């Protein structure tokens, strides 16, 4: 039994996320976690809300609430939506937790002891209108590299270039919109990433199985221009983790907090500590996942994230871990994704353009969205959500292929044999041929899932569903029954066992529907099909079942047209 640690990029607390955010990290991470659990492996799947920094303060101010109250409320909202989408986190934590406070301050102290933090007097933008220093994300302007007009002071989300606020053309306050800005002197701490460039470069070179997208972004940050730069890890903000060296105050840093991109990745570790504390477990239970001197040396650690998060997870967070000099677990595989665009443009939180997670669940069950998003995951390039494609995929893949198979075989059995797996007949050449085909396909499916090739996994799973439909159409038990009821019984028995097999294989993609299929088959048997032939005899003759309700209702043209209008950009 393998031990697999999985983390998904933690979403900002500032509101409900759209479907592009979901497929960028949390959903494929859940797919992998569910698959590994299904194979009998021990999994720790962690995520959290990212609660510090500019987005939290601005969102709380807009909501008219104290930031701590706002974050607590939105954590509950995001956790509930994640649960309804079937995201099977072992723990969904908070970066504002006491555990993350202590651990972030601990890492800062270790880095300082190692000579990897330096104090810098720098000039920073001050807004006279707002009466405060503006951290980089509080400043917007035009990117000097690509001309994007809404670039932030830390990074351009359009071209991903790392920026300083003073690089921006025509900068303005993200709080008030004021251009009455001036540069004043302030002191901050910098992580000396440049001192670790060679070590990070060698570590990334050792990851030969990482996606090209991941390594190319990391290498670009390491080598383009002046190479890897030192990174500020403190900010002039009220909300955040106070700057300390472990338990000690940090002279000259009074009133400052750690930068959100320093403390947020540390939450992955703190989240496991939160899990242990919440469940009354000793520290050894979480340390065995994160400390190589406490058992984590045999853990495979996999991260999932969108491409915009790659630099921080391939460089800044590893620099923190390595620089501490302590035996913390480093990531083994980092699966990154491109962007999902929306119907001819981009998802936009500010403009309300696109489908947000709560809205999606209001109009259709989670599995409809899970299937489309995963089967169209933006792996090798950006992909696009269109309502026409969504309708076609749901109707053809889920309703016509999988749902139709389940309905036809269960209803036919009920009409001829009752709601019980029929006895009689043996599997013949046609059945053996199906078993051989399914064996090949299941092994291919496993290979794609192990490699985290999401779209290829979905394609193979659909082919497995199609194979059952083609068998049923060719065997035609409704015709066989007239001349040879026993042979028809064997065909039906195989078909009912296929439903159980499909439920087990499909559970990582469509867990709610898989559970409904298992419930209809009256079984809790979720054993993985190491031997497909045996798996297709798991439900013996005489085993009772029920005909399920329609698994997947088709999306009508009228529904599609209504949703196209509704989600074009009207969210308040």
47 is in an annotated binding site: no
- HSE at residue 168, side-chain half, CA atoms within 13 A, is 27
Q: Is 349 annotated as a binding residue?
A: yes
Contact of 205 with 240, CB cutoff 8 Å: no
DSSP 312: I
Handedness of CA 298, 295, 304, 455 (dihedral sign): positive
Say which residues have a Cβ less than 8 Å from residue 128's Cβ, sequence separation at least 6: 178, 180, 181, 182
Establish whether 413 is an annotated binding residue: no
Tokens (6 digits) for 302? 């996999």
159 is in an annotated binding site: yes
Q: Where are the beta strands (DSSP E) in 338-415?
A: 340-342, 383-385
Cα–Cα distance, 334 to 376 (Å, whole number): 19
What is d(CA 434, CA 563) in angstroms, rounded to the nearest whole number?
A: 40
**How distant is the alpha carbon of residue 289 from its chain centre?**
19
* Burial category of 76 from C-beta neighbours within 10 Å (exposed 0-12, middle 13-18, buried 19 and up): exposed
How far apart, in Å, do the first and last CA atoms of the chain sit?
Answer: 48
Q: Which residue has the tokens 């064997």?
A: 490
State how far the Cα of 296 lies from the Cα of 290, in Å rounded to an integer: 6
Would you list which residues are annotated within the binding site for ATP?
Answer: 349
Would you list which residues are annotated within the binding site for Zn(2+)?
Answer: 143, 146, 156, 159
Would you list which residues are annotated within the binding site?
Answer: 143, 146, 156, 159, 349
């Amino acid at each position: 039994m393998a031990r697999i640690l999985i983390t998904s990029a933690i979403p900002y607390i500032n509101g409900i996320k759209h479907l592009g955010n979901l497929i960028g990290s949390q959903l494929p991470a859940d797919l992998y976690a569910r698959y590994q659990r299904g194979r009998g492996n021990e999994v720790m799947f962690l995520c959290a809300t990212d609660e510090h920094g500019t987005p939290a303060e601005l969102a709380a101010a807009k909501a008219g609430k104290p930031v701590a109250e706002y974050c607590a409320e939105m954590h509950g909202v995001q956790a509930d939506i994640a649960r309804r989408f079937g995201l099977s986190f072992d723990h969904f934590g908070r970066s504002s937790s006491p555990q993350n406070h202590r651990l972030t301050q601990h890492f800062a102290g270790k880095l300082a002891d190692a000579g990897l933090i330096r104090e810098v007097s720098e000039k920073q933008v001050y807004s006279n209108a707002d009466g405060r220093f503006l951290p980089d994300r509080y400043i917007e302007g035009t990117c000097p590299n690509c001309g994007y007009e809404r670039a932030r002071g830390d990074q351009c989300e359009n071209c991903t270039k790392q920026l300083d606020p003073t690089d921006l053309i025509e900068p303005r306050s993200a709080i008030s919109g004021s251009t009455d800005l001036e540069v004043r002197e302030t002191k901050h701490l910098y992580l000396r990433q440049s001192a670790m460039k060679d070590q990070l470069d060698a570590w990334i070179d050792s990851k030969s199985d990482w996606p090209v997208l991941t390594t190319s972004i990391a290498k670009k940050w390491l080598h383009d221009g002046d190479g890897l730069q030192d990174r500020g890890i403190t900010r002039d903000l009220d909300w955040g983790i106070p700057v300390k060296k472990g338990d000690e105050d940090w002279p000259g840093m009074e009133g400052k907090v750690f930068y959100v991109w320093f403390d947020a990745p540390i939450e992955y570790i703190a989240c496991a500590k939160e899990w242990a504390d919440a469940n009354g477990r000793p520290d050894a239970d979480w340390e065995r996942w994160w400390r190589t001197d406490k058992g984590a040396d045999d853990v495979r650690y996999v991260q999932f994230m969108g491409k915009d998060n790659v630099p921080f997870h391939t460089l800044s967070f590893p620099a923190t871990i390595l620089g501490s000099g302590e035996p913390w677990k480093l990531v083994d595989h980092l699966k990154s994704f491109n962007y999902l665009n929306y119907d001819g443009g981009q998802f936009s939180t500010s403009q309300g353009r696109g489908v947000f997670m709560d809205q999606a669940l209001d109009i259709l069950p989670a599995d409809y969205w899970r299937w489309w998003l995963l089967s169209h995951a933006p792996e090798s390039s950006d992909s696009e959500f269109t309502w026409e494609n969504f309708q076609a995929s749901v109707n053809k893949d889920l309703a016509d292929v999988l749902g139709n198979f389940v309905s036809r075989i269960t209803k036919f059995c009920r009409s001829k044999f009752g709601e019980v797996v029929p006895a009689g007949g043996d599997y013949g050449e046609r059945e053996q041929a199906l078993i051989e085909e399914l064996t090949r396909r299941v092994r291919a499916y496993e290979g794609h899932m192990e490699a985290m090739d999401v779209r290829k996994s979905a394609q193979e799973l659909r082919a497995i569903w199609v194979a059952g439909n083609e068998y049923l159409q060719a065997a035609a038990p409704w015709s066989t029954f007239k001349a040879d009821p026993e042979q028809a019984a064997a065909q039906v028995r195989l078909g009912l066992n296929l439903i159980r097999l499909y439920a087990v294989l499909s559970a990582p993609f469509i867990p709610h529907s898989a559970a409904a299929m298992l419930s209809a088959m009256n079984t809790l048997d979720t054993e993985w099909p190491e031997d497909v032939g045996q798996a297709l005899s798991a439900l013996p003759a005489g085993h009772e079942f029920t005909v399920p309700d329609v698994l997947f209702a088709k999306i009508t043209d009228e529904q599609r047209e209504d949703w196209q209008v509704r989600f074009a950009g009207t969210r308040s």
